[in-house]
């Protein structure tokens, strides 16, 4: 069976666990930096190219700071994410606010930080103008409807809650131009965790065609195009990562045909990838608490769906490695579970693994995005720590584990005001 490699040995994990009890997420700084540089290099032909890391994927300031050092911006979708990147030192066009059903407080925070605001609906033009005023630069999110197929995770564009229709976005540019907006961008994202590289080339073609149409019909010059995120990662060992050099070459060819050859203004290209940047370089480290045999065999972990929601929520595959048993034959079938009072609290179902024993260290792969970020407190379960494996091999805690004091802190009940575990 195809396997995935770990950046640490069982012995190294045992040493880490001595100071940081399981469960925890740990991220590989060296691999993240190398991946970020490779992503940027693929598009170095485009002057002004920028990747706006989707903060929602892994909202930890240590990781955002690392990516800023590599020249990345930040794509935020809430007031808290805006505040997070502000505390990292970001401002201005380093930041995009891409949100929906947006309250005034988020728009106000973005304008205060001089971030690029990406509108999700034509009604938001009036809402923005009325409540905080229109900034000089505005981007709008395009929903192409049946012009573009979505994929399994994000669904069909015409059923999605995101973005302007084709007619609305052209009218939106007319309105914004008449109200004195100076700089314009366009954005779309119609897939999630997509592994077909041609999909992203097709998305670029769709946006380039729209840019030409907007120029002709609304007299608006668009200066940047955000091709969104949605770039998938190979969760399964047999899958292949998206070849970003191939994607870049395809987009460059279209750029020359549809932007340069038609005399349109040079265009800055942006992405807002999250999963593709950090996803493969995070790991959920946990231990086996119990083994159970009924109608099936269960390996119960000290982690649960609180620590990684994707398998239970989407039926998503995450590879499982039993540390120290990488070379042993996968002869035993298990459901790998957590302790929530929900039967979908499973990391793997009918997974063939080596023989498992109580206290074995289990590593769940590809949790560097939409892992810890999607955590919650159902059953009063506490959220785990986040660690960073530094380039020099040291391990740093970058988020401590949640405590009972944290859990009860927001309650205004007299008996819990001075709660101490």
**What are 105's two structure tokens?**
């407080």
* Pair 51, 271: CB distance under 8 Å: yes
* DSSP per residue, 242-304: --HHHHHHHHHHHHIIIIITTTPPP-EEEE--SHHHHGGGEEEEEEEEEEEESSSEEEEES--
The contacts of residue 352 (CB under 8 Å, 6+ apart) are: 1, 330, 331, 332, 333
Residue 111 phi/psi, 5-degree rounding, is -65, -40
The DSSP letter of residue 116 is E
Q: How many CB atoms lie within 10 A of CB 254?
A: 18
Long-range contacts of 291-295 (CB under 8 A, 24+ apart): 291/356, 291/357, 291/358
Structural contact between residues 399 and 375, judged by C-beta atoms closer than 8 angstroms: no
205 annotated to a ligand binding site: no
Is 275 known as a binding-site position? yes
314 is in an annotated binding site: yes
Q: Is 411 exposed, middle or buried (0-12, 13-18, 19+ CB in 10 A)?
A: exposed
Query: 273 among the known binding-site residues?
Result: yes
Mapped onto helix, strand or coil, the DSSP state of residue 379 is helix
Q: Is 342 annotated as a binding residue?
A: yes
Q: Rounded to an integer, what distance in angstroms lies between the CA atom of residue 205 and that of residue 211?
A: 10
Q: Which of 263, 341, 394, 418 is catalytic?
A: 341
Q: Is 341 a catalytic residue?
A: yes
Reported as type and span, the H/E element at residue 322 is strand 320-322
Consult the annotation and say whether 332 binds a ligand: no
- Ligand-binding annotation for 37, yes or no, is no
Residues with catalytic function: 341
Binding-site residues for pyridoxal 5'-phosphate sit at: 230, 272-275
Binding-site residues for substrate sit at: 275, 310, 314, 342
Binding-site residues sit at: 230, 272-275, 310, 314, 342
């Amino acid at each position: 069976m195809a396997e995935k490699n770990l950046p640490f040995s069982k012995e190294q994990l045992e040493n880490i666990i001595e100071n940081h009890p399981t469960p925890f997420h740990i991220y590989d700084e060296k691999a993240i930096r190398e991946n970020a540089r490779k992503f940027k290099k693929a598009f170095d032909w485009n002057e002004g190219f920028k990747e706006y890391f989707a903060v929602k994927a892994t909202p930890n300031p240590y990781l955002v700071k690392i990516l800023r050092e590599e020249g990345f911006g930040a794509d935020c979708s809430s007031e808290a994410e805006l505040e997070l990147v502000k505390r990292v030192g970001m401002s201005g066009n380093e930041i995009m606010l891409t949100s929906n059903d947006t309250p005034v407080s988020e728009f106000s925070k973005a304008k205060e930080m001089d971030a690029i605001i990406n509108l999700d609906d034509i009604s938001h033009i009036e809402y923005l103008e009325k409540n905080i005023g229109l900034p000089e630069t505005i981007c709008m999110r395009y929903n192409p409807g049946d012009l573009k197929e979505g994929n399994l995770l994000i669904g069909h564009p015409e059923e999605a809650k995101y973005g302007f229709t084709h007619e609305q976005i052209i009218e939106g540019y007319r309105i914004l131009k008449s109200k004195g907006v100076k700089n314009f961008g366009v954005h779309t994202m119609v897939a999630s965790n997509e592994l077909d590289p041609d999909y992203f080339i097709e998305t670029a073609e769709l946006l380039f065609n729209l840019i030409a149409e907007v120029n002709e019909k609304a007299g608006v010059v668009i200066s940047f195009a955000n091709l969104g995120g949605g770039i998938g990662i190979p969760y399964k060992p047999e899958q292949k990562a998206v070849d970003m050099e191939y994607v870049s070459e395809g987009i460059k060819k279209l750029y020359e045909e549809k932007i340069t050859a038609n005399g349109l203004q040079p265009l800055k290209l942006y992405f807002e990838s999250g999963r593709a940047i950090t996803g493969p370089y995070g790991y959920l480290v946990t231990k086996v608490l119990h083994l159970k045999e009924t109608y099936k065999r269960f390996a119960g972990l000290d982690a649960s769906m609180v620590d990684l929601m994707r398998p239970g929520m989407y039926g998503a595959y995450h590879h499982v490695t039993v540390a120290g048993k990488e070379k042993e034959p996968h002869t035993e079938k298990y459901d790998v579970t957590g302790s929530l009072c929900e039967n979908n609290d499973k990391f793997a179902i009918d997974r063939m693994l080596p023989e498992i024993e109580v206290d074995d260290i289990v590593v769940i792969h590809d949790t560097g995005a939409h892992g810890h970020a999607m955590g919650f407190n159902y059953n009063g379960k506490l959220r785990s720590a986040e660690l960073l494996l530094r380039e020099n091999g040291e391990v740093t805690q970058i988020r401590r584990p949640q405590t009972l004091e944290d859990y009860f802190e927001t309650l205004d009940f007299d008996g819990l005001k001075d709660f101490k575990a």
